[in-house]
Chain A
Amino acid sequence: MTATTAGERRTEPPPTRRRTSWWTTLLGRQPLGIALSAPYAVFLLAVFAYPLGLAVWISFHDYFFAAPGADVARPFVGFDNYTAVLSDPAVRRSFLNVAEFLVINVPLTVILAMVLATALNAAARGRTFLRVAYYVPYVSASVAVVAVWLFLFNSDGMVNHLLGPLAPNPSWLVNSTWAMPVIAIFVTWKQLGFFILLYLAALQNVSKELYEAASVDGASTWRQFRDVTVPGVRPATTLVVILSTVTGANLFTEPYLLTNGGGPDGASASPVLVMYQRGIEQGNPDLASAIGVILVIGVLVISLINRQLLERD
């Protein structure tokens, strides 16, 4: 409670007599803010900053699980875990898989979300119904919707029934060519509603005069979309690209359940799935942490590049 009373006292003098005392310099003008945000700050330190540091530390040591409180030697091994991980074909495969995932998922997400948001924004009727319909997959559990996709895409499922002789053999989820694209399309479908909401928000900021000027000049709907809408929502596009990349780097539930543990033969394994297998199942948290650190760096680099590419004028 000391911080509270100090906070109240500090704000009392009228602003004209502003003297910066040493504790204002140390704690800021309203130290109550420190008390109010302390729980959140501690939470961020405990489940974000510290684990991030711990991940880096583990990845440079010969680390293994031990009973709580046991004192065991965990020698420093330099980049050994990184070289081991990078020369592991399963890990390399998983990074290629996630690259394939992103190449399909990110452009598809951006295009579909932008088109549907633009159409929804101009729609006269049923807007509420459509908006809710679009985000229903986003708010539902992956585990639940994966079940329907399993039902739709299994070898005897409806998709193959409809395709008849055109159905791939072996079927989608056990086919090494198709497993990853199906996962990418599943995730696009599931997350799209959220990105449509982001684009809808961005569309409210595109000036109406631009559209009016364009239609006075006789620009077609397509030209208006290309020359007014797309540049107008560019900040949202940056955000959508970054967030969908992060989602892709996080991929776990879909390969674990939809393709039965990244099958066939690792063709749809994601880095997080390999992390789980190496770290928890096989008890090598040091290797798993190295994979995690590489992924974090990868995501940060991709986010920075996106920012540079999409936000320059």
Chain B
Amino acid sequence: MAEIAQRPTGVAVTVEDDGARPPSKANSRRGRSWPRAVVLTLGAVAFLFPFYYMVVGSLQKTPDTSLAGAFPTGGLTLDNYTAINERVNLLRSLVNSGIFTSVVILLTLVFGLLAGYAMARLSFRGKGSLFATMLLIQVVPFQLLIIPIYVMVVRTYGLGDTYLGMILPYAINSTAVFIFRQFFLQLPEDLFSAARIDGAGELRILWSIALPLVRPAMLTVTLLTFIGPWNEFLWPFLITKDQDLQPLAVSLANYISNIAGRAANPYGAILAGSVVLAAPAVALFVAFQKHFTSSDLGSGVKG
């Protein structure tokens, strides 16, 4: 198993795979590793079983909730996927989720990177207060501001039922700005002072020195930013009444709370929708797990 996640950069950043510390000799000599293995395995089962059960439930024609029902030997069908697709336009909802998510990622990558660079490497008026505001945001959750934001976006600017209104409050992910800032702080100062002595302007330094190095951080930021809009429920739920604009999380939730009762196999259809909603996120994080480790995140969140 590939244990060591090396970041593809030649920069002097000390990167450890999260937890990649080999067990110390003292530990292995005592050989007391089985309780640890039990704890870890139980944990993995508790985390993964519901996902396995989600897939199994989505493939069963009639729900079998006994323990044996979780390990079916046959009779699996895709009917539930057809059923949910009749009630919720899966493709349309996925496209909406995709638009919402990709615009937020794009805006975060561009403006978040610039802000993170400025806060790490440049000295300018207002830097301190900007950083303080960014810290404060971490403890004042967005959900608590939904009423005034709803008043502004829907009532004042009339942006209800638009992509713009959906995207606006999410446009730049603050944790991403943190991660960019942290990344640029870790770059050696010599790199920048050398360029300045050579007479390079600040824009030039950003473009030809900082940007080429930032790629691994961009992947981490993309992954982290993806979670927000793709999974968000409350805000798009408030702002979209038009079904053609609803992201999948919203249309599935509406199905769960309103119409599921009338379906032949409600849980099967709901679980089929859940698989469609969860699969892209899970696939993305499994494929790019190297870029979502504690060292990528920890530094960012700690600021």
Chain A contact residues, CB within 8 Å of chain B: 4, 7-8, 11-12, 26-34, 36-37, 39-41, 43-44, 46-52, 54-55, 58, 65-66, 68, 115-117, 119-152, 154, 156-158, 161-162, 189, 192-194, 197-204, 208, 211-212, 215, 221, 235, 239, 242-243, 246-247, 249-250, 252-253, 256-257, 260-261, 272, 275-276, 279-280, 285, 288-289, 292, 295-296, 299-300, 303
Asked if A279 and B147 make an inter-chain contact with CB atoms under 8 angstroms apart, the answer reads: yes
Q: Which A-B residue pairs are the 3 nearest by beta carbons?
A: A201-B298, A33-B124, A33-B122
The docked-state distance in angstroms from the alpha carbon of A250 to that of B146 is 11
Chain B contact residues, CB within 8 Å of chain A: 1-3, 5, 16-24, 26-28, 32-33, 36-37, 39-40, 43-44, 46-48, 50-51, 53-54, 57, 63, 65-67, 69-70, 111-112, 114-115, 117-119, 122-127, 130, 133-134, 137-152, 155-158, 168-169, 171-172, 174, 177, 196, 199, 201-203, 206, 227, 230-231, 233-234, 238, 249, 252-253, 256-257, 267, 270-271, 273-275, 277-278, 281-282, 284-286, 289, 292-295, 297-299, 301-302
Known: A41-B126, A141-B233, A292-B145. Contact between A32 and B202, CB under 8 A?
yes
* 11 A-B contact pairs sorted by A residue (CB < 8 Å): A37-B126, A55-B145, A68-B158, A119-B40, A131-B293, A156-B65, A200-B294, A204-B294, A250-B142, A250-B143, A257-B253
Asked if B141 and A201 make an inter-chain contact with CB atoms under 8 angstroms apart, the answer reads: no
Asked if B286 and A212 make an inter-chain contact with CB atoms under 8 angstroms apart, the answer reads: no
The docked-state distance in angstroms from the alpha carbon of A202 to that of B301 is 12
Asked if A115 and B1 make an inter-chain contact with CB atoms under 8 angstroms apart, the answer reads: no
Tell me which of A41, A55, A145 contacts B147 (CB under 8 A). A55
Summed over the interface, the residue pairs from A and B with CB atoms below 8 Å come to a total of: 386
The docked-state distance in angstroms from the alpha carbon of A140 to that of B248 is 13
Which single residue of chain B is at the shortest CB-CB distance from A221? B32
Asked if A130 and B27 make an inter-chain contact with CB atoms under 8 angstroms apart, the answer reads: no
Asked if A48 and B145 make an inter-chain contact with CB atoms under 8 angstroms apart, the answer reads: yes
The docked-state distance in angstroms from the alpha carbon of A52 to that of B140 is 9
Which residues of chain A are near B149, meaning CB under 8 Å?
A: 47, 51
Known: A36-B118, A141-B233, A285-B147. Contact between A200 and B289, CB under 8 A?
no
Asked if B156 and A68 make an inter-chain contact with CB atoms under 8 angstroms apart, the answer reads: yes
The docked-state distance in angstroms from the alpha carbon of A303 to that of B284 is 33
A149 to chain B, nearest CB (A): 7
Which residues of chain A are near B252, meaning CB under 8 Å?
A: 143-144, 147
Asked if A147 and B273 make an inter-chain contact with CB atoms under 8 angstroms apart, the answer reads: yes
